[in-house]
Every structure is written in structure tokens, then in C-alpha cells.
Amino acid sequence: MSSAPSDTYTRWLVAYSQYAGLQSHDGDVTCPGCGGADFGLVFGAAPNQIRGRAEFWCNRCMVGTLRYGVAVVKGFPVLALDATTEDHTKLVPDFTTVLGLE
């Protein structure tokens, strides 16, 4: 009846790595929750920092992950850490965060 949250989280981490181009994959990267293939990925980092926050979500079921201390991947939007809520909302929708032990 219960599914271990860590399993779901692990699948999100894999989807993240594939979508960000850090891990090879065949075909489309699909959402661990709904199977969709429409994702968003926005980093948050101070200027010229190579590590920061990553927000990764599925645009279909609006579930995703929030990670800290990850390498910023070129080619994806980067928000300043002091960005206003308004600026943040323009790029990142309100999604449900899958939490895991990391």
C-alpha cells in the first residue's frame, strides 16, 4: 500500500540527470509520476558560481524536485539567488516537491 518515498525520489534524480544531460538515455526522458515528457529546469546561483540550486519539474503533473549544491548546467535558465518572488514565479511554476534523503 505504501511506496517508499526514496524510490520515487531516486527515479526523479535519474530523470533529472538525464534531462540535464548528465546521464545518457534512450528516447525521451519521462516523468516518474505521469509518464509525460515536458519538463522545466531552472537553476539558482550567485553570479559565476558553478554550483547552486536546481528546480526540476514536470509541466504535466506539476511534480518535481528541488536540489541544492548541484552543478549548474549550461543551457538552462539561471536565477539570481536574490531574485524576487515575482521573477522566480515567471520561470518556475508552483509544483509539488518530491523529497528524499540525500
* Positions that interact with Zn ion (CB under 5 A): 31, 33-34, 36, 58, 60-61
Phi, psi of 42 (to 5 degrees): -130, 130
Q: Report the residue number, 36 or 100, with the smaller CB distance to Zn ion.
A: 36
Distance CA 21, CA 70 (A): 13
Distance CA 42, CA 52 (A): 10
Distance CA 1, CA 66 (A): 26
Q: Report the residue number, 61 or 83, with the smaller CB distance to Zn ion.
A: 61
Residue whose C-alpha cell reads 546561483 in the numeric block: 45
Q: Report the residue number, 33 or 52, with the smaller CB distance to Zn ion.
A: 33
Minimum distance from CB of 41 to Zn ion (Å)? 14
Minimum distance from CB of 69 to Zn ion (Å)? 25
Minimum distance from CB of 83 to Zn ion (Å)? 25
